[in-house]
Chains A and B, each alone.
Chain A
C-alpha cells in the first residue's frame, strides 16, 4: 500500500507541493512537513482554535482537516498575515492592546479575527465574542483581545 501522496496546494499565496500520509492532519503537515509552526496544537480535536487557518477563505481547525484534503485549495496561515514586512492591522492592534500574554493562542485568534473582519468589517462586541468563542485563551480573560479586534475594525 502506497503510504504517501503528493498534494498540490497554495499556501499563503505560494503554490506548494508536499508529500504526506493520509492520516496526517493539515496541522501536522503545516508544522512537521512544511515548517510552518505558527499554527499550534492545543487540543487536536477542534475545541481550542489554536490551529485555526483559512481554507479558501473559510475558517477551519487545521487539526480537523486531513493534509490530503488541501489538494487544489488555498490555505492561509499566520505566517502569511504580514505582507512585505508590514504587520496586518490585527497583528499591530494585538500588540498595542496587550492582547497576548503567553502568545500560544494568538495565531489562532488572529486567523479567526481576520475571517470575521473579512466577513463583517464592522462587528459589535457581541459579534466579536461570538466569532472568537471557538478560540480558547487562558491568560487574558479575552478583554484585551476583543478590544484589539474592535479597534482593528475601526481603523480599517
Chain B
C-alpha cells in the first residue's frame, strides 16, 4: 500500500480540540467547578512503614468550614478479588488499602484520611489537625533486600506465587514467573563469547504535568457522578464500583481533558475518596486535586529494578543463548510490570535457548503503576548493553549484529507465540542507512550509541457511534480519552472510510453515559482499536446511506454505488452532503469491537553524546528515533509520540530517580529535585517513520506510543561507553555516578 491510496490518512490536519487548547478554554480535571462544591484534602503518612495505632479526627472536624472527614473505616471491606482493570491485574483489597491505609501505612505519603471543607486552605488546615498515632516499623526499599530472609514483612498475608504454586510462608515476593524455551546449557556451550552483567534502575515517575484531579458527587438518589482526568472513564467506573461496592450502573464518569497520563492515570486515587466525602458532607460535590508533591508521593511510579543478563553468541555473530533474572520493585502492593519486562528483554532477537526469571517484590515505596511500555525501559537498558558488549567483543557493527539476529514474521517470542508481520528488519535497515549513523563524530569524549526496543501493543475493547447531520457533516462520539491527538487520528479514519473531508467530521469524547464500553487510552491501542470501531462506523453509515439513496432514486440498493463520498446509480449521482440534506430517516450508527490483530512495534534509536569527563555530565548532541509505525494516520502526531517517548527515556536515563533518606522518606518530591528534562537538555529529535502496514488493521495501524521509551536509556549507555570506555550499569546515569565511574576507571580528562 502506498499513502497515495489515501485522501485523508497520511495528511497533517489541525486537531479538532486544538483551538480550545491554545486559548486556555479546554477544561481539564482541576478546571471543573460545580455549584456548592467543597474542596477535599488528604492526610498522608510521614513514615515509610508503621502500624496505625489510632486516628483522632475530632480537632479537624471541629474546625469551622469543615464538612466531612473520612478514614479507611468508611471504605467498604472488599475481599481478595483479583480483577483485570485493563492495564493491570489488581487485588481489590490491596487497591482499597492503597486508597486509604487500613491498619498499616506502607510508604511515605500513603493516604490515611481526608477532609472536605469550604475552601482548599481550610481543608489543608483541617488535615493537619488530624492526630495519628503510629508504631513505626522497620522498612525496606530495595527489591533484593526485601527478598532477604530477615527483611521486614509488608503484607503479613502475602504468599509467593512460585511458578504457579502458592507458597506457605510470609514473604515480600508476590510472584516468581518464568519464560523458558530450548536448552540453555547447550546454547551457552555453543557460544564463542559470553557476556554477563548486572544492572540497576531507579524508581521513576510518569511525570505528567497535570496533577491528578477529580470532582465527585454522591447524589441523594445514590448515583455517583464523577468528573476527572483519566485515561479511561470506564476503568474509573469499574474501580469505583468495586471499591465502593456499588453497581457500576450507579457510577457515571465524565472524563475531562487530560494533562498527560503515560499509564499513570488508569488507577483511581482521589475519586473514591471524593465520593465518600461527598456523601458524608450532605451530598455536595467535592473537588480534590493533588499537589505535585502528592503526585510524587502517592501515585505512579514505575518500578526500580535489578536485572542480571547473560547472553552468548558465536564468532559469526549468532546469538545462541540468553538468560536473565529480573527483580522488579512493585511498591507497597504486588503488581510490578516484571511480566512485561520479561517479554521485552530479549524481544528483538531470535533465540532458541532462553530463560527469563522474573520476581515481583513489594517494598516500602508507592504502589507502582503502568508507565509507557511498562517494564520495558529497564529490560532494554540491561539487554541492549549486553548486546552492545557482544558486538564489541566480536568486532561486528551493532546494527549488522542486530540485523543478523533480528526477529521477523514467524519467529517465536520468549513466551512462545509466533510473531505476525513486523517491521523490525526494515527499521534496522532504515537506521543503518540514516545519515546520522554514518556521520563523522569528531571530538574528544564523544560517542554514538544504538539500541533497539520491542513492545507488544494491545488491541482491546472500543465502541463509538456516529450520526449524519443535515449539512453533510458527521458527529463522531467516542469514549477514548484524547491525550495526544486521537480525536484527529480517529476523525481521519472515519473521513477516509466515508470519502468525505476531514473537516466534516466532528469528533467528541464522552463519558460512560454517552457511548458503549471502551477500555482506556493505554497500550498504544486507541488509534488501532477505536480506529477499528470508527472504520466499522464508516462502513455502516455508507450502507445506510446507500439504502437512503436507493429509496430516493426508487431503485434496488444493489444498484447504488459509493465512491469517494459520491453515491451513484445509472448516471445519477449525489454527494454525501447532498444526500445528507435529504435524509427523511436520520442515519445514526454505533459499533463495538475487540480486535485482536494488533501487531508489536520495534524501534531503533541512535544518539550522540559528549561527556564532560571532569564533571560527569552527559550532553546529547544528536538524536534519531527510527520506528515501524504501521501506517502513520497523522504523521505529525506519530512523530510527536516518538519524540516524547525518547525525551522521557532520556530523563529516565540521565537524571530522574526517587531519592530516600535513611528513614525511608522520599526527599525529592518536587519538580525542582525530581529532574525531568527541560528544553535546554535536549536537541531536536529526528524521527524516521518506517511504514510496514499491520495486516491486522484495515488501514495498517499499529500502536506507536509506547515503544519509543524502550531504547533511550540503553542507547545513551552505549553512547557513553563509546565516548569514555566506561560501561554504566546503573540508572540514572547522573553526573555523580558517571563521574565516580570515570574516576574509578581513571579516565583522563
Contact = CB atoms under 8 A, between A and B. Distances in A.
Q: Which 7 A-B pairs have the closest CB atoms?
A: A38-B24, A104-B259, A141-B647, A103-B21, A141-B643, A78-B24, A101-B484
B25 interface: yes
Interface stretch (B11-19, B76-84, B388-396): B11-19
B248 interface: no
B680 A133 contact: yes
A90 to B, nearest CB: 8
B682 interface: yes
Contact of A145 (B30, B639, B679): B679
Given A23-B121, A45-B670, A133 B678 contact: yes
A91 B261 CA distance: 24
Residue with the highest number of chain A CB atoms closer than 10 Å, among B484, B643, B678: B678
- Give the size category of B's interface with A: 35 or more
Nearest to A23: B121
Task: Report, as a range, how many residues of chain A touch the other chain.
Answer: 35 or more
Of A31, A96, A142, A146, most B-chain CB atoms within 10 Å = A142
Contacts of B260: 101-102, 104, 138-139
B112 to A, nearest CB: 22
Interface of B: 12, 14-15, 17-19, 21-28, 30-31, 33, 121, 206-211, 257-262, 289, 291-292, 483-485, 636-637, 639-640, 643-648, 670-672, 676-680, 682, 684-685
Contacts of B257: 102-104
Nearest to B210: A104
B78 to A, nearest CB: 32
Contacts of B485: 98, 101
20 contacts: A23-B121, A38-B25, A39-B24, A40-B209, A41-B289, A44-B292, A87-B19, A87-B23, A97-B636, A101-B485, A101-B637, A101-B644, A102-B258, A129-B680, A138-B207, A138-B260, A141-B643, A142-B679, A143-B684, A144-B636
A37 B31 contact: yes
Most buried by B among A31, A95, A102, A125: A102
Contacts of B206: 138
A87 B18 CA distance: 11
A108 B258 CA distance: 16
A138 B670 contact: no
Contacts of B645: 141
Interface in A118-144: 125, 128-130, 132-144
A140 to B, nearest CB: 5
Contact of A45 (B12, B21, B672, B684): B672
Contacts of B678: 132-136, 142
B209 A132 contact: no
Nearest to A149: B679
Interface in A1-33: 21, 23, 31
A41 B316 CA distance: 56
Contacts of A107: 22, 24
A57 B207 CA distance: 30
A91 B682 contact: no
Contacts of A64: none
A79 interface: yes
Nearest to B25: A38
Contacts of A142: 647, 678-679, 682
Contact of B209 (A36, A48, A78, A125): A48
Contact of A141 (B209, B291, B670, B685): B685
Given A136-B676, A139-B260, A41 B24 contact: no
- Centre residue among B12, B28, B484, B644 by max chain A CB count within 10 A: B644
Contacts of A72: none
B211 A41 contact: yes
Contact of B679 (A39, A77, A132, A138): A132
Contact of A41 (B30, B261, B682): B30
